Amino acid sequence: MSTANKVALVVGAQGVIGRNLVEHLAALGDWDIVGLSRRGGAAAGRIRHIAVDLLDRDDCRAKLSELRQVTHIFYAAYQDRPTWAELVPPNLAMLGNVVEAVEPAAVGLRHISLMQGYKVYGAHLGPFKTPARETDAGHMPPEFNVDQQDFLEQRRRGKAWSWSAIRPSVVGGFALGNPMNLAIVIAVYASMSKALGLPLRFPGKPGAYDKLLEMTDAGLLAKATVWAAIDPRCANQAFNINNGDLFRWSEMWPKIARWFDLEVAPPLPMSLDVVMADKEPLWQSMIETHDLQPTPYRDVSSWGFGDFVFSWDYDLFADGSKARRFGFHEYVETEAMFMNIFADLRRRRIIP
């Protein structure tokens, strides 16, 4: 590593959020970057990767306690579990293992950025107050996002570093093997519909097709995350980060279909996790027919997450004005975000 003034530790560096954050930090040119993930990665320029099991406290101490130059921790790791209660122990433990290993060694630590989401507002439980605001009252636990923030607030008492909590909506960007990647769900679902000679049907709940929702572009999120980490005004604050526009699937779905040269048929409620479970042979035949990258089906099939998002038969959006009041004015048009992601997947030969 060089002797750059700022050294970022990106936790969860291979996910859709972490990958884009690493790329943004590298493009800024004045950061050294250490990426943490289970898989690790190849070093490039001022970026190096460490493969670590975040759930293993001893592994974290052995591999992270020598990171003395870290100035900023960007935490974007996540472990999926079947129930909301089961999410708490592993996700709280991973954050604790990282901070407890790095903080004592990194005497110049300035900031810890925590990636959260609208679960803080109960968005995953059912209809909630919209637009959600950072000052909204909490909800009945369990909720690991809240527990993680509580951990940081207590840990920083008497310390020189500050924290920020970043709350995006559903994040759109490129990453494979990610349990929460809606854009790839849609792209693969549409590509398979085309391969089978079928129109594109919205598979969600009947009431979800015309509700208002929003998304957060991964590149926009990376910019906002770094902004909040280095702007002194943002110390110990939470921010909703979204694209800045709202949409309904009833408007967006036909536009997506046109991009894939598909007709649209009326919505038909179905569980993608069920109906796509037998489609691995079709995926393999598409790879061979179109000379695609040999991407394992498990890495492109986040069907359960698709079902989760398409089940929202209630409005889902938050007020992003606090970030603007504090000085962040970037925005992304959600339709353009979708089309850019699809084009990127095609360029990478992930989809035909």
Q: How do residues 115-124 score in pLDDT, each as one tens digit?
A: 999 999 999 9
Mean pLDDT to the nearest integer, 321-344: 98
287 and 183 both lie in a single domain? yes
73 and 198 both lie in a single domain? no
pLDDT attached to residue 3? 44
Q: What domain range is 21 assigned to? A: 6-170+216-241
108 and 60 both lie in a single domain? yes
325 within a domain of the structure (yes/no): no
Retrieve residue 199's tokens.
Answer: 């129109």
166 and 125 both lie in a single domain? yes
Last residue of a domain, one of 241, 258, 286: 241
Checking if the pLDDT of 65 tops 60, the result is: yes
CA distance 172 to 218: 6
Share of the chain above pLDDT 90, in %: 96
Report the Cα–Cα distance between both ends of the chain, in Å, rounded.
Answer: 39
Those residues whose C-beta lies under 8 Å from the C-beta of residue 21, and which sit 6 or more positions away, are: 10, 13, 74, 76, 221, 222, 225, 226
CA torsion sign for 295, 296, 302, 303 is positive
Checking if the pLDDT of 5 tops 90, the result is: no
74 and 221 both lie in a single domain? yes
Last residue of a domain, one of 203, 224, 241: 241
- For residues 336 and 342, the answer to whether their CB atoms sit within 8 Å is no
pLDDT attached to residue 334? 98
Tracing tokens 């079928």 back to the chain, one arrives at 198
28 within a domain of the structure (yes/no): yes
Tally of domains within the chain = 2
221 and 80 both lie in a single domain? yes
pLDDT attached to residue 180? 83
305 and 158 both lie in a single domain? no
1 within a domain of the structure (yes/no): no
What's the one-letter identity of residue 188? V
20 and 151 both lie in a single domain? yes
CA distance 74 to 256: 33
235 within a domain of the structure (yes/no): yes
220 and 209 both lie in a single domain? no
- For residues 46 and 26, the answer to whether their CB atoms sit within 8 Å is yes
326 within a domain of the structure (yes/no): no
Q: How confident is the model at residue 4 (pLDDT cuts 50, 70, 90)?
A: low
Using DSSP's 3-state secondary structure scheme, residue 104 falls into coil
322 within a domain of the structure (yes/no): no
Mean model confidence pLDDT for the chain:
96
- Tens of pLDDT, residue by residue over 160-216, are 999 999 999 999 999 888 878 899 999 999 999 999 999 999 999 999 999 999 999
CATH number (domain holding residue 42): 3.40.50.720
- Tens of pLDDT, residue by residue over 6-50, are 999 999 999 999 999 999 999 999 999 999 999 999 999 999 999
* pTM assigned to the model: 0.96
Checking if the pLDDT of 262 tops 70, the result is: yes
pLDDT attached to residue 175? 85
Mean pLDDT to the nearest integer, 56-60: 98
